[in-house]
Structure 1
Amino acid sequence: MLFGADPTPRIVAIELGETGTVKVYRREKDGSTVAEVEPFHPFVWADSDVVDLGIEAEKLAGDLKYGWRVTVDSWKELIALRNGLKNAGRDFFAFTDPVQHYLTATGRTLFKDLPFEELKRMQIEVLSFSDDSDDHLMSIALADNSGWEDVLTVDPKDVEESERSVLKKLTSLIKERDPDVIEGHNLFRFDLPYAPDRGEDD
């Protein structure tokens, strides 16, 4: 395992697939996107053998702290394994994100050999209204690096229904434009958490 060691170019996204697989999406030079199903067997590193827990482990070469590897067939099994080791008081290391796990295990990287100008980049800005008695979306502005722009506005005369419509339209536009990267100011601390929360409130 070595970051960037795998030569596979132009990977733009990775998703969990059926048990034991992931879907790897690559952008072709003609702009089309292809999906390839690849094997994926997640694992944890433990600091000792876990045979006493009824779990098979592989002893790794070397004398580093986490010298045992336990491999499973699915991400669901990995979560159960992590919980089991934690409850048993065992010391271990495991990834919490399947994409990071897959990239680390394979040595692949996102966007390798993909020129920056070929990335599909979308920008999102969420504006909201909030006071002691109310909290709702006002508008969502979207743009991408093709020059496309749109603004979704909530009708203040019918906030609940209009807000629901705006969120559905936002979802539809993201699927339609299919960006590789979503950008925005304070995106992870406000915009992305806030919009789904408003959908749940509806």
Structure 2
Amino acid sequence: MLVKEWAEREHLHPQTVWKWCRTGKMPVPVEHTPSGMWLIHDPKYETPAPSDAEQSRTVCYARVSSADQKADLQRQADRLKAFALSMGVEAPEVVTETGSGMNDKRRKLNRLLADPTVGTIVVEHRDRLARMNSGLIESALKAQGRRLIVVDDKELDDDLVRDMTEVLTSFCARLYGRRAAANKARAALKAAEHA
């Protein structure tokens, strides 16, 4: 399991757990993957795989916004598959899609979310799943006994900046259309930084 998830279950701060991993003070077995991730193998939280193989499907979901990013899409899919294999998944499925993260018009993602046999969805960044409200999707999956794994879940901005970016992106999507919304929001934030 990921550091953040284990820290949450143990009521610890993730920074403390990362420090313990690096200094070798973890009370449970840990694994440092070649990609630099720390995986925690706590026996009290690890459940044996279900006997029904369909229930344990792990799907890697990769998305880009436009067709001219096909090379990025393939590299993203390869990184996700390597991550899933390092987690011990024997045959991870990879689903790739080209579409906007601003709306819900993504057939392949909708199919994954509606399929109860998909137990784990792996994405590289939260915005690859959805530009806004990915936390709601994660909560819905968790309520069904499923989970979302975000490979690179580090926060690039603080909460206020991230929230402001989401609001600006939403407004820009209404004003300028969904395709230009992200660029307009970035430009507005850049202007605000230099003001």
Whether TM exceeds 0.5 here: the answer is no
Higher Cα Rg: structure 1 or 2? 1
Higher helix share: 2
Higher strand share: 1
Q: Which has the higher contact order (CA 8 A, sep 6+)?
A: 1
TM-score by length of 1: 0.28
TM-score by length of 2: 0.29
